[in-house]
């Protein structure tokens, strides 16, 4: 697996590269957002670690640019912990968010979780899941609305796949975070609301009046079959 690490803190990049290479990853690096976009396009990484505050182009802008041509998983790295900063990251297409300083073991765990979910599957047989006009290609991890490809991030695909595999079952936000993120994320519970909103924008004919991705007020979310 190839991981792109982009941060203007040289010592941090060296430390991350050393630890990931010891785990067998192929690591490429950059120091600003423009380099991140170019490397994402030319190197085809399996995952990107992207700092938010960088010269030339900030990480949020770089992530948004990358999303124009790739759904590669992106973990944002930042010194900020404010909820609005995190929500802006998810709005720009990030899959995960880690606040500095962080434990390298936690970073590795998040990398493994994202790669496990986003990795291409070896089964070449057609494997689809369809409810109404929404179809998931589970091998290619593509989503379609009425036959038109919807550009989902890796995490957005995880959310819709989980809901569609369990139709008409209402899950609390906490239960969805535990099942999909696979680690403790309770302090960032609004993260899920952002992903649900973006999924409605991409998969519902009328996001303001959804047919499938439903809210059970006071409880959580479910996929209506």
The reply to whether 47 falls in a domain is: yes
The reply to whether 177 falls in a domain is: yes
The reply to whether 93 falls in a domain is: yes
Those residues of the chain that have pLDDT short of 70 are 81-85, 119-126, 182-189
Identify whether residues 189 and 82 lie together within a single domain.
Answer: no
Greatest CA separation for the chain: 51
Structure tokens at 215: 């809210």
The reply to whether 123 falls in a domain is: no
Give the global pTM: 0.63
Quick one: pLDDT at residue 123?
40
Mark which of 71, 88, 118 sits at the end of a domain.
118
Identify whether residues 8 and 56 lie together within a single domain.
Answer: yes
The reply to whether 193 falls in a domain is: yes
Q: Which positions ≥6 away from 183 have C-beta within 8 Å?
A: 106, 109, 110, 113
Please state, in angstroms and rounded to a whole number, the distance separating the CA atoms of residues 8 and 24.
24
> What sign for the dihedral angle of Cα 60, 63, 67, 73?
negative
Please state, in angstroms and rounded to a whole number, the distance separating the CA atoms of residues 159 and 180.
7
Identify whether residues 152 and 87 lie together within a single domain.
Answer: no
The reply to whether 166 falls in a domain is: yes
Tell me the pLDDT tens digit for each residue of 68-93.
999 899 999 988 766 666 778 788 88
The reply to whether 10 falls in a domain is: yes
Identify whether residues 34 and 112 lie together within a single domain.
Answer: yes
Alpha-helix residue ranges (DSSP H) falling in the chain: 10-22, 33-43, 59-66, 83-91, 104-118, 154-165, 173-176, 190-203
Quick one: pLDDT at residue 182?
61
Q: Which positions ≥6 away from 105 have C-beta within 8 Å?
A: none
Report strand pairing: 128-131 vs 74-78. unpaired
Domain of 78 in residue numbering reads as 2-118
Domain count, the chain: 2
Tokens 């995190």 -> residue: 86
- Three-state SS for 163? helix
Residue 9 is part of a domain; what is its CATH number? 3.40.50.2300
Identify whether residues 6 and 105 lie together within a single domain.
Answer: yes
Quick one: pLDDT at residue 149?
93
Report strand pairing: 134-137 vs 142-145. antiparallel
Quick one: pLDDT at residue 25?
92
């Amino acid at each position: 697996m190839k991981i792109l690490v982009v941060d203007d803190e040289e010592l941090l990049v060296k430390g991350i590269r050393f630890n990931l290479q010891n785990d067998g990853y192929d690591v490429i690096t950059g120091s600003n957002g423009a380099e991140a976009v170019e490397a994402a396009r030319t190197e085809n990484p399996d995952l990107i670690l992207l700092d938010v505050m960088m010269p030339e182009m900030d990480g949020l802008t770089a992530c948004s640019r990358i999303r124009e041509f790739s759904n590669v998983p992106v973990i944002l790295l930042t010194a900020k912990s404010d909820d609005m900063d995190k929500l802006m990251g998810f709005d720009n297409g990030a899959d995960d968010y880690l606040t500095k300083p962080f434990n390298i073991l936690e970073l590795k765990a998040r990398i493994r979780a994202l790669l496990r979910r986003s990795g291409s599957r070896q089964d070449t047989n057609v494997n689809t899941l369809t409810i109404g006009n929404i179809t998931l290609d589970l091998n290619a991890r593509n989503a379609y609305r009425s036959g038109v490809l919807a550009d989902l991030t890796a995490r957005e695909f995880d959310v819709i796949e989980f809901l569609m595999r369990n139709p008409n079952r209402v899950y609390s936000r906490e239960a969805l975070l535990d099942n999909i993120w696979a680690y403790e994320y309770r302090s960032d519970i609004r993260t899920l609301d952002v992903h649900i909103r973006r999924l409605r924008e991409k998969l519902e004919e009328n996001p303001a009046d959804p047919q499938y991705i439903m809210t059970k007020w006071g409880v959580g979310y479910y996929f209506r079959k």
